Amino acid sequence: MKALVLDNYMELNYRDVPDPQLEVDEVLIRVKACGICGSDVHGMDGSSGRRIPPLVMGHEAAGVISAIGAAVTGWEVGDRVTFDSTIYPLDDWYTRKGHYNLSDNRKVLGVSTGHYRKEGAFAEFVAVPAHILYRIPDNVTFEQAAMTEPVAVALHAVNISGIRPGESAVVIGTGTIGLFVVKLLQIAGAFPIIAVERDEEKLKLAKSFGATDLLLSSDSLVTGTIEALTNNRKADVAFEAVGIQETVNLCIKSLRKGGRAILIGNLMPEVTIPLQQVVTSELSLLGSCAINGEYETVLELMRSGKIEVDGMISAVAPLSEGAEWFRRLYNKESGLRKVILVP
C-alpha cells in the first residue's frame, strides 16, 4: 500500500510500505480521511520525541472497514467508522477503573517513543482493535469524522473541569483544541468565556466559536482585564491549551481563589509554577490527557449540528501531497488551520 512515511526528521516520503498484518481482535480500515495534528507537525522535526522515524504518523482518521479479524463481532465489512487515537488494553487496572487514557500499556496511533511503535493512518490502510471503533452517523462525512479526535480531546478537558452553567472560564491558546474548548464551554453554559491568544487572527475566530471576550496575551493588563470581567474575582476555571512556561503561569494567574486550572498543552516537558499562589489561593491544577470515552458524545453533537467542524478545515488534499502541506503547517502559514489528507 501507499503511505506518507517520516523516513527521517523533516523528511516525509509518499511511498510503498507493507500492508498491515491483521490480528484476530482487529479490523482493517481503508482510510478515507486523516487530519494533520499539531503533534504530528511537532513530531516531524523531532522536537516532541514521540515520532521516532521511520514512522507512518496520523491518528485523526475515519474510513471504511475492509476486513475483520476472526475474533471480532458486531462489525461488518463496509461499516463507516472512526476510532480513538488511544489503543488501550481491556485488562489493564486503569481501564477497569474507567480511565483507559491512563492505562499502563496504552499506545497512541502513529506514535513511536522508543518504548513502542504503532503505525498510523497516513496510509491507504490501518489496522486497529475493534474495541476502539465508533460508527459514523449517516449525515457526517469522513472529513468531518476525522475531526472527532480533536473535539473529543477538548470535551475531555471540559468534562474534567466540572464546569457548571454560569461559571466563568478563560481559554488560553485558541488553536484547534482551544477553539473547541470555547465552543463546548458555550454549550455547557459557561459565562463569560474569555479567550486569550497572541495571534490576532486566531483570536478573532474564537468569537465565532462562542467567546464573549477576546484578549491578546501580549497585553500587560490581561490579568487585570480578566478580573474586571469576572466581578473582580478572576475566573472560576482556566484552560491552558499551549503547554509552555508563559501560558501555564498566565493560566494560574487568571484564577480566583479556589479556582481550577485545566492543563491540556504539553509542548514543554517541564515548567515552573508560582507555588505560593497555588497553595495560598488553594488552586486545583488538573492535567487533561487525551480522551476517555468522549467519542460517542462528539459524534452525536456533530450529527445534531451542535458542533460544526467544516469551518476549521482549511484544505482537503491527496495524501501524495502530504509533505508539502506539512511544510506549510510547519512554517505557520497564515490562515491555515486543519488540513485533511485523503489516500
Q: How many Å apart are CA 122 and CA 59, to the nearest integer?
A: 8
Average pLDDT over residues 263-268: 92
- Decide the pairing of beta strands 255-263 and 338-342: unpaired
Q: What is the pTM of this model?
A: 0.96
pLDDT value for 269: 87
Please report which confidence band the pLDDT of residue 114 belongs to, taking 50, 70 and 90 as the band edges: confident
- C-alpha 63/C-alpha 126 separation (Å) is 9
Q: Which region, left, alpha or beta, applies to residue 133 given φ > 0 means left and ψ of -120 to 50 means alpha?
A: beta
What is the DSSP secondary-structure string of 82-124? EE-SEE--TT-HHHHTT-GGG-TT-EETTEE-SS-EE--SSBS
**Under 8 Å between Cβ of 321 and 342:** no
Asked if 10 and 4 count as a contact pair (C-beta separation under 8 A), the reply is no
pLDDT digits (tens, 9 = 90+) for 272-286: 999 999 999 999 999
Tell me the percentage of the chain whose pLDDT exceeds 90.
96
Q: What is the SS3 assignment for 33-48? A: EEECCHHHHHHHCCCC
Check residue 48 and give its pLDDT: 83
Using the predicted structure, report yes or no on whether residue 299 has a pLDDT greater than 90.
yes
Parallel, antiparallel or unpaired: strands 2-8 and 26-35? unpaired
Neighbours of 292 (CB within 10 A): 22
Please tell me the distance from the alpha carbon of residue 3 to that of residue 288, in angstroms, as a whole number.
Answer: 31
Whole-angstrom distance, CA of residue 188 vs CA of residue 306: 12
Concatenated DSSP letters for 43-75?
HHTTSSS-BPSSEE---EEEEEEEEE-TT--S-
Nearest to 315 by CA among 34, 2, 10, 30: 34
Domain ranges of the chain: 2-147+309-342, 152-287
**Topology (CATH level 3) of domain 2-147+309-342:** Quinone Oxidoreductase; Chain A, domain 1 (3.90.180)
pLDDT the model gives residue 267: 84
State the pLDDT confidence band at 169, using cuts at 50, 70 and 90.
Answer: very high
> What average pLDDT does the structure give for the chain?
97
Q: For residue range 4-58, what is the model confidence (pLDDT) as tens digits?
A: 999 999 999 999 999 999 999 999 999 999 999 999 999 999 988 899 999 999 9
Reply yes or no on whether the pLDDT at 268 is more than 90: no
Give the span between the Cα atoms of 163 and 169, in whole angstroms.
8
pLDDT tens digits, 210-238: 999 999 999 999 999 999 999 999 999 99
Which architecture, in CATH terms, is 152-287? 3-Layer(aba) Sandwich (3.40)
Q: Which helix (H) or strand (E) holds 216?
A: strand 213-216
